[in-house]
Structure formats: C-alpha cells, structure tokens
Amino acid sequence: MQTRIHENLAGDPLVAEADDILRACVHCGFCTAVCPTYQILGDEADGPRGRIYLIKNFLEEDAIDASAVAHLDRCLTCRSCETTCPSGVQYGRLLDIARGFTEQRITRSVRERLLSVGLRITVPNVAVISLLYCLGRLLRPLLPRVLRSKIPGLAVSAPLATGTAQATEEVVVLEGCAQRAATPGVNRDLEKLLAIHGVAVRRVAAEGCCGALDYHLSAQDKGLARMRRMCDALWPAVEAGVTSIVSTASGCGVMVKEYGDLLANDPDYADRARRISELCVDGTELLERFSFTCEPARVAVHSPCTLQHGQQLPDALPALLTNAGMTLTATRDSHLCCGSAGTYSIMQPALSAELATRKVHALTGDDPDVIVTANVGCHIQLSGIAETPVMHYATFIASRLRG
C-alpha cells in the first residue's frame, strides 16, 4: 500500500513508521476473517483492512471525521489480525500511532472524556481501585447487574501442601494494578508454585502501572512516563541479577515486553528498557520449566489475546495445563477475543457483552469443570456471565496440587 503523506505530517518519525507499516499491507483480507468486530457488525470499516484504509486517508488528508473515529474506536486491538497476516503488518502499532494523532484533531463527547480520564486516574491507583473493589464486594447484592459482573469473588488461596526447595534463583513478579485489587491471590499462588522448585520472588517497591492503560487510551505521553517510572523501579532488581521479570497478567506482560521498542529513541531509557523487555516473561513461560502433580480436571482454556497474539504464545497456557495432568475440553474459535480488551468493556459495552456471550458459549459447549485464563481482564469478563467457575492458572494449579 502506497501513501502520499500530507505536508503537515511529513517529517514526523511516527508518521514515517506508520507509512512503513502501511506499505507492508497487500489488501488480501485474511485479517477480516478473524476480526471479532467484523464478525458481529459485517462492515468493512469495522475490520482491520477497512481501518487501515481509514488511517491511510488520514495520513494523506490530515483530517478525520467522527464516523471514521468511531470505526477505529470499535477496534479491540486484539491483534488476531497480526497472527493471521501473511505480510507481517504490525496493525496494533499502526492503530496506536493513528489514535495518538487523531485524538488531537477531534472533540470527544463529555461522556467519553469523563470515562477516559476516570479510568486513567482510578485503575492505576492501587489504593483507590482496591477500595472500590472492597466496597463493591460488600455492596455486590445491591448493585446493578452491569456492575456486579465487574466484581469477581475472592478466590481462597490454597495452602502449600508440598515442601519447598532451597532457592537457587530469584525473579521479580509484577504486582499489577487491577489484578492486585480484583484477584489479589494470584501472585501469592504463583509464589507458592515457584517455591516448590527453588525460585525466590523479589518484591519491587513503588512498582506503579506498566503504562498500558494510558497508552492505549491515547494518552501516550502519560503512558510513556509511566513506563519510564517502571524502568526506574525495576532497574535495581535487574542490577542485582534477577533472572526474570514475571507477569501473571498477560496484558501487562505484552506492554513490558514492548518497552524496548517504545522507548528505543529515548537516550536516557533505551538501554534499560531493552534489557527489561528481554527479561520479561509471562508466568506460563516460567512455569513450563517445571512439573506439577495435580488432581485432574476437565478444563476449558481461554488464552487471552495479549498472550496468544500480543506475546505470540498461543500454546503456552494449554501446554502448561496439559503438563499438569488436565484434560482440555473442546473450544470453538479459540483465537477470538472475549471482549474485555483492557477498558473496552467499559468504553464499548454492547459489543463487549456480545463478544463475552459468544466466548462463554464457545468455552462451555463441552461441559468443562472450570475455565482457566491468564489475564485479569478476561477473568473479570468471563466470570461476570459464566456459570462455570473461572480461575487464573496460578490459583487453579496451586489449588489442585497433590501432596
């Protein structure tokens, strides 16, 4: 795809990057077949190829209307299209760049502005989001269904029933923001599993937010600032020789793995960001090194988009559960998004709800005992409507250890 960049945009390095991405697209349309929003809406402009043309038009005209912005807003950024694309188009990166530019040229409604600012203030603030979840659990029976569905019950962490090994390595486990408030037992359960195999966990003071929420809500400067603060918080542990930086929320993990690219042009942070990205692993990647003897169960696997498409680890969660002795039940369209997609469930509630309903039907058709996932957003989204229990893999495996 060839573009004639508008003179107002020419010379901007981000525009040049977007142009390079656009030129890789050959208009084949394979991406459309795997796009969740296109499957629901049936509109070319609500699929990756159509959105790519909208971005192309913007770069050539330096103008965009409300209708085009609405089509871009409806994208989940699930990146299923990237997994399918034979040309390697970096669609997610292209969309982030485009959203950064178009946000400066449109006027959002009061509702949209309040939602965006409210989410960016609330979710990364662990004290505030934890208080809200605490109050939500107390008042849950009185809340409207749409709010009740966002508040998962607290899972009881299983006691460690097996002996622990002498520590031979040390890792950092990222605490996260929403996960710390919504499913606080996950990292404790991971720590128990690691202790069995001699892996110690190092805590990082003032960890903060990874920057994903701000960055993907078009507050990209604020997102980058959070990334720099995260680098500052993690760097002493890197210098101390930790072997991995582990994320148990795949949405945070994919962002930290991209620090090296996003901060590549920052002379003060480029080297540190690259090293932190190199050390970052998903929890499933770390646990696959070890064996666990568990009570068997029939498990439906939901691999989050951030794990299978963002981190390109589509088999990590199924392999981990299979190696732990679980029977995996059949799931249709496992590549499709559940509709959580960070803040998407709040910003685009109708589409999100439709995707969640479809996903739960696909996961439960083979009558599993439990649905297991790897990201807090998916956990909240699925547990809000599924009658089958939904668990994070760390909590699930820890709860079924033998001996």
Per-residue pLDDT reduced to its tens digit, 225-259 = 999 999 999 999 999 999 999 999 999 999 999 99
Q: Hey, what domains does the chain have and what are their CATH numbers?
A: 13-105 (1.10.1060.10), 291-399 (3.40.50.1860)
Question: Are 172 and 230 a contacting pair, CB within 8 Å?
Answer: no
Tell me what the mean pLDDT of segment 365-383 comes to.
Answer: 95
Nearby residues of 86 by Cβ (< 8 Å), 6 or more positions away: 26, 28, 30
- What is the per-residue pLDDT for 148? 65
Mean pLDDT for the stretch of residues 377-389: 93
- Average the pLDDT over each of 4-8, 281-285, 317-321 and give the range with the smallest value: 4-8
Burial of 177: CB neighbours in 10 Å, binned 0-12, 13-18, 19+:
buried
Share of the chain above pLDDT 90, in %: 74
Query: Is the pLDDT reported for residue 159 higher than 60?
Result: no
Q: Does residue 370 register a pLDDT over 80? A: yes
**Tens-place pLDDT, residues 114-147:** 888 888 888 888 778 777 777 777 766 766 766 6
How high is the mean pLDDT of the chain? 91
Of the candidates 8, 126, 118, 108, the one whose C-alpha atom is nearest the C-alpha of residue 58 is: 8
pLDDT band at 180 (very low <50, low <70, confident <90, very high): confident
pLDDT in tens, 254-274: 999 999 999 999 999 999 999
Give the confidence band of 1 by pLDDT, cuts at 50, 70, 90. Answer: confident
Of residues 247 and 168, more confidence is placed in 247
Say which DSSP state 2 is in: -
104, pLDDT greater than 80: yes
Write out the two tokens for 292.
């666990």
pLDDT at 28: 93
Rounded to 10 deg, the angle between the 48-61 and 13-24 helix axes is 140
Quickly state the pLDDT bin for 108 (edges 50, 70, 90): confident
187-223, pLDDT tens digit by residue? 999 999 999 999 999 989 888 899 999 999 888 999 9
- Taking the C-alpha atoms of residue 313 and residue 271, their distance in angstroms, rounded to an integer, is 25
pLDDT in tens, 57-90: 999 999 999 999 999 999 999 999 999 999 999 9
Distance of CA 82 to the CA centre of its chain: 15
